[in-house]
Structure 1
Amino acid sequence: MSNKLFVDVHVIQTVPPSCLNRDDAGSPKQAVYGGARRARVSSQAWKRATRLAFREELAIPADQLGVRTKRISSLLADRLAARTGIDADAASRLSTALLQDLKVTDGKNAGETAYLLFFGLAQLDAIVDLVAGQAEELAGIAADALPKAVADLPVRETLAVGHPIDVALFGRMVADLSTLNVDAAAQVAHALSTHAAEIEFDYYTAVDDAPDPDREDAGASMIGTVEFTSATLYRYATVGLHTLRGNLGGDADAAADALSVFIRAFAKSMPTGHQNTFAHRTSPSLLCVMVRDDQPVNLVSAFEKPVSRRDGLVGESVSRLAAELTTVSSRWGCTPALVATAYDNPDNTQTLHEAFGPPRSLDEVVTAVDVDVRARLGEMTPR
């Protein structure tokens, strides 16, 4: 049996007029694919939306998740003060001394690092554990002597284990200390429209509700434009379960739990660019999850030739995806070990059933994948 296990997640989702993800000029991001200009949402935008969904949609407690910030020293100081009762100034000095072992470059602002660090709040609590019993004694040591007093504490080692699920999934790079790097278990593709897409402009005005009665101005008090596009998107992500389990300390059950969380969050998340302007939040038209023991397979080739239909794009996009899956399986031998799909019953029902299996609910998809990967992880040798 292969010692690798991949879970591919495919989504077809239509969004109305929106600006989910802007470039530096404020325009919706785009890309040329198959010779046609497509709407695009960057992988970074959807990964952040997925991370936010862990907390906001799935209500996972903050202490089980990661935080990405330049303010690791301030957060550690707050936790030191809260746990040990030492004053804020002493906690700040102790925090700075503890983190000197990381050798992370200081930022422009006091107490900040030069770049964002991604870590778990539980990992900060584990660092507090290292000094909790002697915090008052350490608080009495001069700031210049503190680094030597805590030099033998395993701060690096503490940040290298016990990763929260979002760090385990999306990885971490620490430029100044490669031993703290975490290889990402999840890869997320840029979402692309299955069809050619154009950018349009919304011209808007705002009228003063309490105008000066002595003035005869009858026009708008504010005029502007905002760019938008609408699209049927193909979204894809893959998770290496073997890597995820390794990032979670070899715990197969924790890896399976994290995968279920990721599938739900990725399916239900939505970037929030111009959300108040467009109210663009929709649900997927299709969620297809495939378990593979050979390699991940992005099925975007289904849309290399842009979909072009006047009676709607979702049905044809779903049919194209089904055909691509069948082709990849039969021609290239990349046959998934499990396919579980949530979708409606549009045209070509028999074709869709042959490719995707019978339609299921989101809960049924997650459960089917969970049962399958737990069994497979149990048969694999931990890396």
Structure 2
Amino acid sequence: MTSRLYIDVHIVQTVPPANLNRDDQGNPKEAVYGGVRRSRVSSQAWKRATRIHFDAQAPEQDRATRTKRITAELAERIARNTGLDKAPATRIAATLLEQLGLSAGKKVGETAYLLFYGNAQLDTVADLVTDRATELAALDDKALSETLKAIPVAEKFTTGHPMGVALFGRMVANIPALNVDASVQVAHALSTHETQLEFDYFTAVDDENEKEETGAGMIGTIGFNSATLYRYAALGLEQLTANLGGDTGAALDAVGSFVDSFARSAPTGYQNSFAHRTRPSLVAVVVRQDQPVNLVSAFEEPLPTEAGVAAASARRLAEEHTTACRMWGDTPLYSAASHTFTPGDLRTKDTTEALTQAFGEPVAFPQLISGLRARLATSMEDPA
């Protein structure tokens, strides 16, 4: 039995003029916190960016996908395995998936819900009918349905979860048996300071009509802002291990891959217009045994928008962590940080000292992940 361990991931990251995650008006999402308007990036946006980055590092068979086109994906596998034409393969796939009870979507061949599943899980379902495909294709609809009822399709989607599903979970509103409780929680990223919405007025010139007309071929505006963001995620190791069928080695691998992808990923909204990709100034991990702790309260009083916002944000975060530990009388099982601030720089000397007091001596990011894994492995071997 895995002991109850929670991994908090705290990130301070500065983003230049950008529109990472737009609202229904096409402008960057915002939120009022501490009495002022902040830049906001929704948890859904950063979770998807993390998941895409996470899957890109995994072998094809270990990846997961979320789609309404599961019937077409299964039919493609059946056709590839058996040589059947598309139509009979699709008929078999649709009948197999009837067992899941997924409602039909508005478009032909689509389900009403996005289903998050592993490639290996769908491969396993396709393998169930590979040896009988020609025989099954010859049956009428009633006989095909009766024959395929005996095949344990639902079981293949409730076991053998890939790391992505084990981390981010799966919810199908009207089919609780398919639900997987997420082991990861991601907060909405918030700027540590007040932000102002700005607009980029742009024009586009028609290259083939430049001599005849002097005006623009197109005119428009894009909303943007720039911000230093506080990003936070929490991971429950006990839930993650359970989702992976008790495989502690896979759980430890998933923790490292998640921290890496959460730190390195970014939503892609308007990325061609703003080239907004940056890396964090600070990544801190804290392992706790009681509960996850979001440190956004460090920024309830917004930082003044002056030079050195990133350093001031990191210092505030470190001080909040130290103060909270002292107030509640608890000591985290493990703390570590990787950051860009140096004690030799007088502008960041106070920040470096605060970070060291809170999280220990800084380490390079790869060592942050390897050290986290080693500490978790020790705790899992000896929960006491």
TM-score normalized by the length of structure 2: 0.95
Q: Is 1:227 equivalent to 2:223 in the alignment? A: yes
Q: Is the 8 A contact 1:315 1:347 kept in 2?
A: no
Pairing of 1:55-204 with structure 2 (within 5 A):
55-56=55-56, 59-204=57-202
Q: After TM superposition, give the deviation of residue 158 of structure 1 in Å.
A: 0.9
Q: Which amino acid is 1:70 matched to?
A: K
Bigger drift between 85-94 and 35-44 goes to 85-94
1:279-335 CA-to-partner distances (Å, cap 9, x unmatched) read 000000000011111110000000000011422201110110011000111101343
Pairing of 1:205-354 with structure 2 (within 5 A):
205-211=203-209, 213=211, 215=212, 217-343=213-339, 344-345=341-342, 346-348=348-350, 349-354=352-357
Q: Which amino acid is 1:222 matched to?
A: M
Q: After TM superposition, give the deviation of residue 221 of structure 1 in Å.
A: 2.1
Q: Tell me: CA distance 1:89–1:380, structure 2 relative to 1, closer, same or farther (3 Å).
A: farther
Q: Which amino acid is 2:158 matched to?
A: A
Q: Is the 8 A contact 2:194 2:305 kept in 1?
A: no
1:325-347 CA-to-partner distances (Å, cap 9, x unmatched) read 00111101343111111012222
Instruction: Provide the C-alpha distance between the structure 2 equivalents of 1:180 and 1:5, rounded to a whole number of angstroms.
Output: 25
Instruction: Provide the C-alpha distance between the structure 2 equivalents of 1:14 and 1:62, rounded to a whole number of angstroms.
Output: 33
Instruction: Provide the C-alpha distance between the structure 2 equivalents of 1:293 and 1:306, rounded to a whole number of angstroms.
Output: 30
Q: Secondary structure at the match of 2:190?
A: strand
Q: Is the 8 A contact 2:193 2:305 kept in 1?
A: no
- Number of the residue aligned with 1:374: 377
Identical aligned residues as a percent: 52
Instruction: Provide the C-alpha distance between the structure 2 equivalents of 1:230 and 1:309, rounded to a whole number of angstroms.
Output: 11
Q: Is the 8 A contact 1:19 1:273 kept in 2?
A: yes
- Number of the residue aligned with 1:34: 34
Q: Tell me: CA distance 1:103–1:2, structure 2 relative to 1, closer, same or farther (3 Å).
A: closer
Q: After TM superposition, give the deviation of residue 41 of structure 1 in Å.
A: 0.1
Q: After TM superposition, give the deviation of residue 2 of structure 1 in Å.
A: 8.6
Instruction: Provide the C-alpha distance between the structure 2 equivalents of 1:353 and 1:280, rounded to a whole number of angstroms.
Output: 29
Q: Which amino acid is 1:347 matched to?
A: K
Q: Which amino acid is 2:349 matched to?
A: D
Q: After TM superposition, give the deviation of residue 267 of structure 1 in Å.
A: 0.2
The number of residues matched between the two structures is 377
Q: Which amino acid is 1:354 matched to?
A: Q
Instruction: Provide the C-alpha distance between the structure 2 equivalents of 1:3 and 1:342, rounded to a whole number of angstroms.
Output: 26
Q: Secondary structure at the match of 1:144?
A: helix
Could you list the runs of 5+ residues in structure 1 that have no partner in the other structure? none
Instruction: Provide the C-alpha distance between the structure 1 equivalents of 2:305 and 2:128, rounded to a whole number of angstroms.
Output: 63
Instruction: Provide the C-alpha distance between the structure 2 equivalents of 1:360 and 1:38, rounded to a whole number of angstroms.
Output: 31
Q: Is the 8 A contact 2:17 2:276 kept in 1?
A: yes
Q: Which amino acid is 1:342 matched to?
A: S
Q: Is the 8 A contact 1:50 1:269 kept in 2?
A: yes
Q: Is the 8 A contact 2:32 2:38 kept in 1?
A: yes
1:171-216 CA-to-partner distances (Å, cap 9, x unmatched) read 0011231011000000000000000011001111122222264x4x
Could you list the runs of 5+ residues in structure 2 that have no partner in the other structure? 343-347
Instruction: Provide the C-alpha distance between the structure 2 equivalents of 1:70 and 1:53, rounded to a whole number of angstroms.
Output: 21
Bigger drift between 184-193 and 142-151 goes to 142-151
Q: After TM superposition, give the deviation of residue 43 of structure 1 in Å.
A: 0.2
Q: Secondary structure at the match of 2:141?
A: coil
Q: Is the 8 A contact 1:252 1:378 kept in 2?
A: no
- Number of the residue aligned with 1:48: 48
Bigger drift between 5-14 and 349-358 goes to 349-358
Instruction: Provide the C-alpha distance between the structure 2 equivalents of 1:280 and 1:148, rounded to a whole number of angstroms.
Output: 55
Q: Secondary structure at the match of 1:145?
A: helix
Q: Tell me: CA distance 1:245–1:380, structure 2 relative to 1, closer, same or farther (3 Å).
A: farther
Q: Is 1:359 equivalent to 2:355 in the alignment? A: no
CA RMSD of aligned residues (A): 1.5
Instruction: Provide the C-alpha distance between the structure 1 equivalents of 2:50 and 2:36, rounded to a whole number of angstroms.
Output: 28
